[in-house]
């Protein structure tokens, strides 16, 4: 699971918890249905933090509340991390 997957699942989880459709969430957040639908369906890989903030406001939670979920502990992007940090996969040392 990557960050985008975790964010998708979190949005759906919070909407369900609040008995809210995605359309209703978009209306309350002041964002277009197509913006959120494309992200939730995977047509768009990324979502701006400003959009997440609007979603949080509509759900009456903080960004901290949004990201304070076990979903974000499951993010596995070790290869990307190793590439960015220039770590040798064989011995774990920085190149």
Q: Which CATH class is domain 3-85?
A: mainly alpha
Q: How far apart are CA 60 and CA 35, in angstroms?
A: 20
Q: What is the pLDDT of residue 91?
A: 47
pLDDT digits (tens, 9 = 90+) for 19-70: 999 999 999 999 999 999 999 999 999 999 999 999 999 999 999 999 999 8
Domain edges within the chain: 3-85
CB burial readout 1-22, b (16+ within 10 A) else e:
eeeeebbbbbbeebbeeeebee
């Amino acid at each position: 699971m990557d960050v985008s997957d975790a964010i998708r699942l979190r949005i759906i989880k919070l909407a369900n918890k609040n008995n809210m459709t995605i359309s209703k969430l978009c209306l309350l957040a002041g964002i277009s249905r197509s913006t959120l639908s494309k992200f939730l369906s995977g047509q768009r890989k990324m979502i701006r933090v400003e959009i997440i903030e609007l979603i949080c406001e509509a759900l009456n939670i903080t960004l901290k509340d949004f990201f304070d979920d076990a979903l974000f502990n499951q993010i596995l992007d070790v290869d990307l991390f190793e590439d960015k940090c220039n770590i040798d996969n064989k011995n774990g040392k920085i190149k």
